[in-house]
Protein backbone atom coordinates (compact mmCIF):
# COMPACT_ATOMS: atom_id res chain seq x y z
CA UNK A 1 0.00 0.00 0.00
CA UNK A 2 1.13 3.55 -0.76
CA UNK A 3 -0.04 6.77 0.86
CA UNK A 4 -0.25 10.11 -0.96
CA UNK A 5 -0.78 13.42 0.81
CA UNK A 6 -4.19 14.71 -0.27
CA UNK A 7 -7.36 16.42 0.91
CA UNK A 8 -9.47 15.65 2.88
CA UNK A 9 -6.92 13.04 4.13
CA UNK A 10 -4.20 10.81 2.68
CA UNK A 11 -5.11 8.72 -0.38
CA UNK A 12 -4.21 5.09 0.26
CA UNK A 13 -3.67 3.05 -2.90
CA UNK A 14 -2.31 -0.17 -4.28
CA UNK A 15 -0.37 0.66 -7.48
CA UNK A 16 -1.35 -2.63 -9.15
CA UNK A 17 -5.06 -1.80 -8.74
CA UNK A 18 -4.71 1.85 -9.65
CA UNK A 19 -5.05 3.43 -13.13
CA UNK A 20 -3.92 6.83 -14.36
CA UNK A 21 -6.78 8.33 -16.38
CA UNK A 22 -5.93 11.29 -18.62
CA UNK A 23 -9.06 13.07 -19.78
CA UNK A 24 -9.38 14.72 -23.20
CA UNK A 25 -5.91 16.23 -23.67
CA UNK A 26 -6.89 16.76 -27.31
CA UNK A 27 -5.82 19.52 -29.67
CA UNK A 28 -9.52 20.43 -29.87
CA UNK A 29 -9.44 21.65 -26.26
CA UNK A 30 -5.83 22.72 -25.74
CA UNK A 31 -4.86 24.37 -29.03
CA UNK A 32 -6.23 27.39 -30.91
CA UNK A 33 -8.74 26.68 -33.71
CA UNK A 34 -10.44 23.71 -32.04
CA UNK A 35 -13.76 23.04 -30.34
CA UNK A 36 -12.72 24.72 -27.06
CA UNK A 37 -11.91 27.91 -28.92
CA UNK A 38 -15.17 27.64 -30.92
CA UNK A 39 -17.01 27.72 -27.58
CA UNK A 40 -15.42 31.13 -26.98
CA UNK A 41 -12.64 30.05 -24.62
CA UNK A 42 -9.01 31.12 -24.16
CA UNK A 43 -7.28 27.77 -24.65
CA UNK A 44 -3.95 29.04 -23.28
CA UNK A 45 -5.44 28.64 -19.78
CA UNK A 46 -5.20 24.86 -20.13
CA UNK A 47 -1.60 24.68 -21.23
CA UNK A 48 -0.09 24.82 -17.72
CA UNK A 49 -1.39 21.26 -17.19
CA UNK A 50 0.73 19.71 -19.95
CA UNK A 51 4.15 19.58 -18.23
CA UNK A 52 2.90 18.15 -14.89
CA UNK A 53 0.72 15.56 -16.70
CA UNK A 54 3.77 14.51 -18.73
CA UNK A 55 5.76 14.02 -15.50
CA UNK A 56 3.00 11.94 -13.90
CA UNK A 57 2.58 9.94 -17.11
CA UNK A 58 6.29 9.06 -17.12
CA UNK A 59 6.18 8.07 -13.43
CA UNK A 60 3.10 5.90 -14.01
CA UNK A 61 4.69 4.18 -17.02
CA UNK A 62 7.85 3.50 -15.01
CA UNK A 63 5.81 1.90 -12.23
CA UNK A 64 3.68 -0.10 -14.74
CA UNK A 65 0.41 1.52 -13.76
CA UNK A 66 -2.40 1.06 -16.24
CA UNK A 67 -2.61 4.30 -18.24
CA UNK A 68 -5.92 5.17 -19.90
CA UNK A 69 -6.48 8.11 -22.25
CA UNK A 70 -9.88 9.52 -23.20
CA UNK A 71 -11.03 11.65 -26.11
CA UNK A 72 -14.36 13.41 -26.47
CA UNK A 73 -15.73 13.22 -29.98
CA UNK A 74 -18.14 11.81 -32.48
CA UNK A 75 -18.46 9.54 -35.49
CA UNK A 76 -17.79 11.16 -38.86
CA UNK A 77 -21.50 10.76 -39.70
CA UNK A 78 -22.40 12.40 -36.34
CA UNK A 79 -24.88 9.56 -35.74
CA UNK A 80 -23.87 9.48 -32.05
CA UNK A 81 -24.24 13.25 -31.59
CA UNK A 82 -27.42 14.09 -29.70
CA UNK A 83 -29.25 16.93 -31.51
CA UNK A 84 -29.37 18.79 -28.17
CA UNK A 85 -25.56 18.75 -27.92
CA UNK A 86 -25.26 19.80 -31.58
CA UNK A 87 -27.64 22.76 -31.16
CA UNK A 88 -26.29 23.92 -27.80
CA UNK A 89 -24.59 27.31 -27.69
CA UNK A 90 -25.95 28.75 -30.94
CA UNK A 91 -22.34 28.60 -32.13
CA UNK A 92 -20.97 29.88 -35.43
CA UNK A 93 -18.73 26.81 -35.59
CA UNK A 94 -20.46 23.63 -34.47
CA UNK A 95 -19.36 20.03 -33.89
CA UNK A 96 -18.65 18.48 -37.30
CA UNK A 97 -17.92 21.80 -39.01
CA UNK A 98 -14.53 22.22 -40.70
CA UNK A 99 -11.83 24.11 -38.80
CA UNK A 100 -8.07 24.56 -39.17
CA UNK A 101 -7.44 21.17 -37.48
CA UNK A 102 -10.17 19.32 -39.37
CA UNK A 103 -13.83 18.80 -38.48
CA UNK A 104 -14.49 19.88 -34.90
CA UNK A 105 -14.64 17.05 -32.36
CA UNK A 106 -14.84 14.34 -35.03
CA UNK A 107 -12.89 11.10 -34.64
CA UNK A 108 -9.98 10.69 -37.00
CA UNK A 109 -9.45 14.44 -37.41
CA UNK A 110 -6.22 16.07 -36.30
CA UNK A 111 -7.98 18.29 -33.76
CA UNK A 112 -9.65 15.31 -32.13
CA UNK A 113 -6.38 13.56 -31.36
CA UNK A 114 -4.28 13.82 -28.21
CA UNK A 115 -1.44 16.36 -28.21
CA UNK A 116 1.98 14.96 -29.15
CA UNK A 117 3.54 15.50 -25.69
CA UNK A 118 0.97 13.17 -24.12
CA UNK A 119 0.51 10.74 -27.01
CA UNK A 120 -0.60 7.26 -25.90
CA UNK A 121 1.87 4.38 -26.20
CA UNK A 122 0.81 1.15 -27.90
CA UNK A 123 -1.04 -0.92 -25.30
CA UNK A 124 -2.48 2.07 -23.43
CA UNK A 125 -6.26 2.01 -23.90
CA UNK A 126 -7.81 5.07 -25.55
CA UNK A 127 -11.47 5.57 -24.71
CA UNK A 128 -13.48 7.44 -27.35
CA UNK A 129 -16.47 8.95 -25.61
CA UNK A 130 -19.42 10.86 -27.07
CA UNK A 131 -20.22 12.62 -23.79
CA UNK A 132 -18.53 14.44 -20.97
CA UNK A 133 -18.27 11.41 -18.66
CA UNK A 134 -15.79 8.66 -19.61
CA UNK A 135 -18.18 5.88 -18.52
CA UNK A 136 -21.19 6.97 -20.58
CA UNK A 137 -21.54 4.87 -23.77
CA UNK A 138 -17.97 3.49 -23.54
CA UNK A 139 -16.21 0.27 -22.53
CA UNK A 140 -14.20 1.95 -19.75
CA UNK A 141 -15.96 -0.02 -16.98
CA UNK A 142 -15.26 -3.32 -18.77
CA UNK A 143 -11.57 -2.45 -19.18
CA UNK A 144 -11.18 -1.44 -15.52
CA UNK A 145 -13.00 -4.55 -14.36
CA UNK A 146 -10.88 -6.89 -16.48
CA UNK A 147 -7.71 -5.41 -14.93
CA UNK A 148 -9.18 -5.43 -11.39
CA UNK A 149 -8.73 -1.67 -11.06
CA UNK A 150 -10.39 -0.05 -8.03
CA UNK A 151 -8.76 3.36 -7.93
CA UNK A 152 -8.35 6.13 -10.49
CA UNK A 153 -5.84 8.96 -10.51
CA UNK A 154 -7.35 11.61 -12.72
CA UNK A 155 -5.71 14.32 -14.87
CA UNK A 156 -6.91 16.34 -17.86
CA UNK A 157 -9.42 18.93 -18.98
CA UNK A 158 -11.64 20.57 -18.10
CA UNK A 159 -11.86 20.40 -14.32
CA UNK A 160 -15.56 21.23 -13.97
CA UNK A 161 -16.75 19.56 -17.18
CA UNK A 162 -15.26 16.24 -18.33
CA UNK A 163 -13.03 15.66 -15.27
CA UNK A 164 -15.82 16.29 -12.75
CA UNK A 165 -18.41 14.33 -14.73
CA UNK A 166 -16.06 11.36 -14.95
CA UNK A 167 -15.16 11.51 -11.25
CA UNK A 168 -18.84 11.60 -10.32
CA UNK A 169 -19.61 8.66 -12.60
CA UNK A 170 -16.65 6.75 -11.12
CA UNK A 171 -17.69 7.53 -7.57
CA UNK A 172 -21.15 6.08 -8.11
CA UNK A 173 -19.58 2.96 -9.61
CA UNK A 174 -17.48 2.36 -6.51
CA UNK A 175 -14.09 3.70 -7.57
CA UNK A 176 -11.85 5.85 -5.37
CA UNK A 177 -10.62 8.87 -7.34
CA UNK A 178 -7.63 11.08 -6.66
CA UNK A 179 -7.67 14.25 -8.77
CA UNK A 180 -4.25 15.90 -9.25
CA UNK A 181 -4.86 19.63 -8.84
CA UNK A 182 -1.93 20.82 -10.98
CA UNK A 183 -2.78 18.29 -13.74
CA UNK A 184 -6.37 19.43 -14.30
CA UNK A 185 -7.36 22.76 -15.80
CA UNK A 186 -10.29 24.92 -16.80
CA UNK A 187 -11.01 27.92 -19.02
CA UNK A 188 -12.50 29.42 -15.82
CA UNK A 189 -10.13 29.62 -12.82
CA UNK A 190 -13.06 30.14 -10.43
CA UNK A 191 -14.86 27.01 -11.71
CA UNK A 192 -11.59 25.04 -11.42
CA UNK A 193 -11.22 26.02 -7.76
CA UNK A 194 -14.87 25.34 -6.95
CA UNK A 195 -14.89 21.99 -8.77
CA UNK A 196 -11.85 20.79 -6.81
CA UNK A 197 -13.34 22.02 -3.53
CA UNK A 198 -16.56 20.11 -4.27
CA UNK A 199 -14.68 16.83 -4.76
CA UNK A 200 -12.88 16.77 -1.40
CA UNK A 201 -15.54 18.54 0.73
CA UNK A 202 -17.76 16.60 3.14
CA UNK A 203 -15.09 14.03 3.94
CA UNK A 204 -14.29 13.41 0.26
CA UNK A 205 -17.84 13.24 -1.06
CA UNK A 206 -16.56 12.43 -4.58
CA UNK A 207 -12.91 11.63 -3.83
CA UNK A 208 -9.54 13.14 -3.02
CA UNK A 209 -7.54 16.11 -4.34
CA UNK A 210 -3.74 16.23 -4.15
CA UNK A 211 -0.68 17.38 -6.09
CA UNK A 212 1.19 15.45 -8.74
CA UNK A 213 4.32 15.76 -6.61
CA UNK A 214 2.64 14.10 -3.62
CA UNK A 215 1.35 11.28 -5.84
CA UNK A 216 4.74 10.69 -7.47
CA UNK A 217 6.45 10.68 -4.05
CA UNK A 218 3.96 8.06 -2.86
CA UNK A 219 4.59 5.94 -5.97
CA UNK A 220 8.28 5.93 -5.02
N1 LIG B 1 -16.22 23.02 -22.62
C2 LIG B 1 -15.45 22.42 -21.69
O3 LIG B 1 -14.99 23.04 -20.74
N4 LIG B 1 -15.14 21.09 -21.81
C5 LIG B 1 -15.64 20.21 -22.70
O6 LIG B 1 -16.53 20.48 -23.49
N7 LIG B 1 -15.07 18.99 -22.69
C8 LIG B 1 -14.14 18.57 -21.75
O9 LIG B 1 -14.08 19.09 -20.65
N10 LIG B 1 -13.30 17.63 -22.13
Q: List pLDDT tens digits, range 59-92.
A: 999 999 999 999 999 999 999 999 999 999 999 9
198 CB less than 6 Å from ligand 1?
A: no
Alpha helices of 69-206 — where are they, by DSSP H? Answer: 83-87, 140-146, 164-172, 189-204
b/e burial code for range 168-180 (CB count within 10 A of at least 16 → b)? bbbbeeebbbbbb
Per-residue pLDDT of 22-34, as tens digits, reads 999 999 999 999 9
CB 210 within 8 A of CB 6: yes
Q: What is the pLDDT of residue 205?
A: 98
Q: What is the pLDDT of residue 162?
A: 98
Q: Which of ligand 1's atoms lies nearest the C-alpha of 187?
A: 3
Q: What is the pLDDT of residue 35?
A: 96
Report d(CA 185, CA 94) in Å as an integer. Answer: 23
Q: What is the pLDDT of residue 124?
A: 98
158 CB less than 6 Å from ligand 1?
A: yes
Is pTM beyond 0.85 here? Answer: yes
Q: What is the pLDDT of residue 199?
A: 98
Per-residue pLDDT of 3-60, as tens digits, reads 999 999 999 999 999 999 999 999 999 999 999 999 999 999 999 999 999 999 999 9
Sign of CA dihedral 186, 66, 208, 166: positive
Residue 64 is a catalytic residue: no
Reported residue count of the chain is 220
Categorize the per-residue pLDDT at 208 as very low, low, confident or very high, splitting at 50, 70 and 90: very high
Read off the DSSP letter of residue 89.
T
What CA–CA distances, in Å, run from 127 to 22, 71, 131, 145? 10, 6, 11, 15
184 CB less than 6 Å from ligand 1?
A: no
Q: Which of ligand 1's atoms lies nearest the C-alpha of 26?
A: 10
Q: What is the pLDDT of residue 79?
A: 98
Q: What is the pLDDT of residue 82?
A: 98
Residue nearest to atom 8 of ligand 1 (CA): 162
CB 26 within 8 A of CB 71: yes
Residue 24 is a catalytic residue: yes
161 CB less than 6 Å from ligand 1?
A: yes
Residue 177 is a catalytic residue: no
Residue nearest to atom 7 of ligand 1 (CA): 162
For the chain, report the end-to-end CA distance as a whole number of angstroms: 11
Beta bridge partners of 209: 7, 179
Dist. CA 35 → ligand 1 center (Å)? 9
Q: What is the pLDDT of residue 92?
A: 92
Report d(CA 47, CA 3) in Å as an integer. Answer: 28
Helix axes 50-62, 212-219, angle to 10 degrees: 10
Q: How many percent of the chain have pLDDT more than 70? A: 100
Report d(CA 51, CA 56) in Å as an integer. Answer: 9
Amino acid sequence: MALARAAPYEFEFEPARCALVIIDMQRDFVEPGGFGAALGNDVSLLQRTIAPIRTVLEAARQRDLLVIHTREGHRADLADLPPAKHRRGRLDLKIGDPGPMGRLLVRGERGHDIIDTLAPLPGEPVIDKPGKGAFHATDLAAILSSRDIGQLVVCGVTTEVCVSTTVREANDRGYDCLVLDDCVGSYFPEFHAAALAMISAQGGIFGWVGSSQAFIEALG
